[in-house]
DNA sequence: GCCTCATTGTGAGTATAGGTAACAATGAAC
DNA sequence: GTTCATTGTTACCTATACTCACAATGAGGC
């Protein structure tokens, strides 16, 4: 098979997988009442030592700051996160998890793992390890934790 | 490493990849004036022998028929596809590519391949083959061509 | 001090993607 | 020939993320 053609095929497979993962994610998040974008934000918040600023969240989620405002509005209305002012800089708002938010995050992780287990069922342990290595090689910049 | 934990890590990696591919897809489609959803529809149309019905498109794209109406509206306004009535069943509308649509599809394939080449740069030929096999194993149902 | 400029978050509006509910036109089955 | 299923669409809603504009605040030069 021609190199260009095989690259095209790989692109097709990746796009199909992307689509499938997107649908699966929506499925397993639905019962939790959390949207995929909120789920990403919660994970970024939980991965950080200190409460992040809105602008940091935007950078790590790779979206414009305005998008973060909407997401935090939603999560705050659900009681999962809290906006706290920064004493050192009155422009800044920091976002931290509430106790409810930590609970939700745990349920979210469990649901994600169950969904992944289902998706990965066709692969044996050594194939999963292979896949993990390939994905790590593809991901040159692991700083974005979304 | 614990089995559940490694599954969770794989899930994380897959979600990051999903996100990244989604952004990359939007990037390379932008100059073509085609949205990702339109691109999927064009590919499904092009993969079929005969012109498909709206309801077939919905099934292959895994969306509700109503979503197909909007997409075909857009593509038709761009002159890339054409709605044709079905003589055998007057409820049915079939969607076929125009000559412009075939051109667009070719540019789209080229752009996708270039983007894939960029994304896959960190992988050598044998790693790409491995990845292709793993993705094929994951994709139990290749009937959905979106 | 004060003037300018950069940073930070958000209101207002838009586009894309998709979903539900209701419906008219048509075909199929009894 | 009446009832029921299929097909596409009108009308509306949600989620995601964008641009633009703007007010509040901080930082630097003078």
Q: What part of A 26-85 touches B (C-beta under 8 Å)?
A: 40, 62
Residue nearest to nucleotide D25 (CA to C1'): A91
In this prediction, residue A40 has a pLDDT band, given cuts at 50, 70 and 90, of: very high
Can you name the CATH fold of A16-116? Arc Repressor Mutant, subunit A (1.10.10)
Q: What is the pLDDT of residues B110-140, one digit of tens each?
A: 999 999 999 999 999 999 999 999 999 998 7
Residue A24 near residue A121 (C-beta atoms within 8 A): no
Cα angle: A84, vertex A87, A88; to 5 degrees: 125
Of A22, A132, A144, the CB nearest to B10: A132
- Which of A10, A16, A139 lies nearest to residue B13, judging by beta carbons? A139
Average pLDDT over residues A52-70: 98
B97-104: which pairs have CB atoms within 8 A and are 24 or more residues apart? Answer: B97/B42, B97/B45, B97/B46, B101/B42, B101/B45, B101/B75, B102/B46, B104/B32, B104/B34, B104/B42, B104/B80
> Tokens in use for B115?
């983007």
Q: Which residues contact B1 (CB under 8 A, 6 or more apart)?
A: B9
Report in angstroms the alpha-carbon separations of A16 from A28, A110, B2, B37, B62.
Answer: 19, 25, 29, 12, 11
Tell me the pTM. 0.90
pLDDT of res. B18: 94
Q: Which residue of B lies nearest to A146 if distances are taken between CA atoms?
A: B16
Q: Residue B70 has which token pair?
A: 């909007």
Grade residue A65 by pLDDT with cuts at 50, 70 and 90. very high
How many Å apart are CA B57 and CA A67, to the nearest integer?
32
B111/chain A closest Cα distance in angstroms: 10
**Secondary structure element (H or E) that encloses residue A96, with its range:** strand A93-97
Q: Å from A67 to nearest chain B CA?
A: 15
């Amino acid at each position: 098979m021609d190199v260009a053609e095989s690259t095209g095929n790989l692109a097709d497979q990746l796009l199909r997988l992307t689509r499938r993962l997107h649908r699966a994610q929506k499925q397993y998040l639905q019962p939790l009442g959390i949207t995929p974008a909120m789920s990403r934000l919660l994970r970024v918040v939980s991965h950080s030592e200190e409460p992040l600023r809105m602008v940091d969240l935007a950078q790590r989620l790779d979206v414009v700051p305005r998008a973060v405002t909407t997401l935090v509005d939603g999560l705050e209305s659900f009681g999962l996160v809290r906006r706290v002012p920064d004493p050192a800089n009155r422009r800044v708002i920091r976002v931290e998890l509430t106790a409810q938010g930590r609970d939700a995050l745990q349920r979210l992780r469990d649901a994600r793992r169950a969904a992944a287990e289902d998706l990965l069922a066709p692969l044996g342990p050594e194939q999963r390890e292979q896949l993990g290595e390939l994905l790590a090689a593809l991901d040159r910049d692991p700083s974005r934790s979304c």
